[in-house]
Structure 1
């Protein structure tokens, strides 16, 4: 049983990460909560499929197509597709029809199917043709800026661009950081101190909700059910 995942960051402001994976005798995985939406392609038994996956507000078990190859583009926070509001995709997905190994249709135009090495060129075309947009306020606020807008306006823009509130994004991000630290062998009490949890029970609840694993399971590298992509930010 294995789910091999490889990923890389991107210098393009619209992309958080590009990844690819393959499955072998894996029926289900634990899908870790994520605040990013993704464009995912997978091939199984010679058939190519694609879908837009929305943000995941909590961890959940997800089926994995057997003996399949996957490729995905995880989009940066604040990036959205205006014709498919991300708020409608939270915890769900939208299938892209009529995909072949070579082409797909997006908003009435034919596109070459992207791959791990040319994801940036594909996304830049999406930007040029108005399929993808970026609200610069979202990454600015997450980096600590204080824009001159009301709190209500700010929350509305966050939800419109990400499907989630600021608070939900920060909690998901912190839990994913905690999971990576625990997997690296950092003691739970140290993780609590570094990331600002109240205490170890608070950390435990966060990991259970957003990662679907206890600190003990993460530290032991429990492989009974593989995890979706976790990485250092």
Structure 2
């Protein structure tokens, strides 16, 4: 099973339509499950996503004026059991579905940790605490899921998996779960998914899993060939032009 997660950088804008080439790049992956973060419903969003004709699409029903959403698409070979949304600023952007593939049930969660936009540059401490609280709430939720559930959380956490691993007392992960990130994959050619204005590189897109075997994780920057950019230099200032790598997981 191939899963991709991609922050498509709509930045909560109802006026920023998904670009056609973004849909084309998604189709090229032939992923079984697609998770889009920083997705936003626009006037033509259904028309745009209709090009993913081989997929069932599920999105947040939230009508929040300012805020990002999650979209999950699954191949029509899969069966949906349930869909669950959580609208809570203390949780982050959250959408969960449970699907059946080849007789096996999977709980798939698309996630993005929110940031304090107004105070992002002025108060890094407040932002760190805000993200930490969201992560704590997510872990509490994960801990309450049944022990035998096959769980895959993919998203933009706005901090690195390494930070969780090295600060276990501050950012504990739910018991029984593990972090899967190209950052920890020795065979990954690229170890970062986002580049800051100061050119620092971070691996903020990763997966949290339980009871599943992840054969491979890597970041794909292939879409930059379209705009003649290099991953180490890329920081998009244009809404609707993705500024993250795709996170790709191969699950067995």
Q: How high is the TM-score relative to the length of structure 2?
A: 0.28
Structure showing greater Rg: 1
Structure number with higher strand proportion? 2
